[in-house]
Amino acid sequence: MLSRVAERMYWFGRYVERVENTARLISVNTNLVMDLPRVDHIWASTLDITGNSAEFQRRFSRVDERNVVKFLLEDDGGSIRSSVRSARENARTTREIMPSEAWERINELHLFLQRSVGEGLKREGRHNFLGEIIGRCHQLTGLLAGSMSLDIAYNFIKIGRNLERADMSSRIVDVGSLNLITQKNKPIEYDNILWMNVLRSLTAYQMYRQHVKDRVNAEDVVDFLLKNRKFPRAVAHCLSEVHGCCIELPKNDLPLRSISQAMRTIESNDVIKLLNESGLHDFIDVVQLEFADIHTQVANAWFGYGVDSAALGTTAA
């Protein structure tokens, strides 16, 4: 496989996962704002989670629901529409690698956004619009899992998907915790609802209740989302998936070393201590840097100049 094809598969996986995560984040926070109308930091936190605060401030003067949703749906930077466009382009240029039905699904999603993105700007149509996006992403992910050979190309899609997912999960834990910690000295009636919102942002609420036989609380939520090996959106599980994919690839020493380091960091943390000492934010910063290092090592090992077809074992047309 050519290195450029491997890179496009990797970014295809990342972009599709980013679309789904962003759509769910907007949907969950829309519902939360309607439940808690006086919680005014929700939309600013949404920008923090997606890492787009600086770009947003260059384009908009006010952080409010309409501006944030418009930015995350259709801006040329890190929006849902731009991510779908990028995923579609990566799929278009590698159409011979994946099932033709996958190209049809991503193209249909692109066309759906072109004609319907305005529906997401209004609250009354937003839930159905975002649900359609999430459902189409699920269809695409399931289609690839059920009909694409489990070879090098699919491994790169999985690496991209799971690294993106681990990144988003850690960001949601970080920002969700900061929202509560910054108001620690103020008695808040809605702490339980806010932690449930953190879980629902990752479709984790029901699985949390199955694994954790206790009420929703900070320590258990953070521990579940960081360390659980059985829940697909927990950071530890995502890193384990990335590790398993990299084992199947040649020249994997440095990527595997970076992944193992990140896994040790996650496993060795003391959640109660981090929360009590307000050290979770700094810890997540360390984890984020380790994710960036994993990306760098993956890119250097398999996407860099000097990587040829022989390095990945097969040749793409």
The predicted model scores a pTM of: 0.91
Query: Would you state the pLDDT for residue 45?
Result: 86
- 127: closest CA among 27, 39, 225? 27
Residue 99, classed as helix, strand or coil, is: coil
Query: Is residue 291 helix, strand or coil?
Result: helix
Note the pLDDT of residue 175: 83
**Of the candidate ranges 102-111, 182-191, 277-286, 288-297, the one whose mean pLDDT is the lowest:** 182-191
CA angle at residue 11 from 308 to 171, to 5 degrees? 135
More confident residue, 269 or 36: 269
Check residue 194 and give its pLDDT: 80
What does the DSSP 8-state code read for residue 202?
T
Report residue 78's pLDDT band, with 50, 70 and 90 as the boundaries.
Answer: confident
Question: What is residue 182's predicted lDDT score, i.e. its pLDDT?
Answer: 53
* pLDDT greater than 80 at residue 35: no
Instruction: Evaluate if residue 315 carries a pLDDT over 50.
Output: no
pLDDT tens-digit series, residues 136-166: 999 999 999 999 999 999 999 999 999 999 9
Tell me: pLDDT of 307 over 50: no
The average pLDDT across 162-190 equals: 75
Give the dihedral of Cα atoms 167, 169, 172, 173; nearest 10 deg.
-110
Q: How confident is the model at residue 277 (pLDDT cuts 50, 70, 90)?
A: confident
CA–CA gap between residue 12 and residue 110 (Å, rounded):
14
- Total length of the chain: 317
The answer to whether residues 126 and 164 touch, using CB atoms and an 8 Å cutoff, is: no
Given a cut of 70, whether residue 309 has pLDDT beyond it is: no
Mean pLDDT rounded to a whole number for the chain: 88
In the chain, pLDDT over 70 holds for what percent of residues?
90
Residue 145: how many other CB atoms lie within 10 Å: 12
Question: If you average pLDDT over residues 288-295, what whole number do you get?
Answer: 96
pLDDT value of position 38: 62
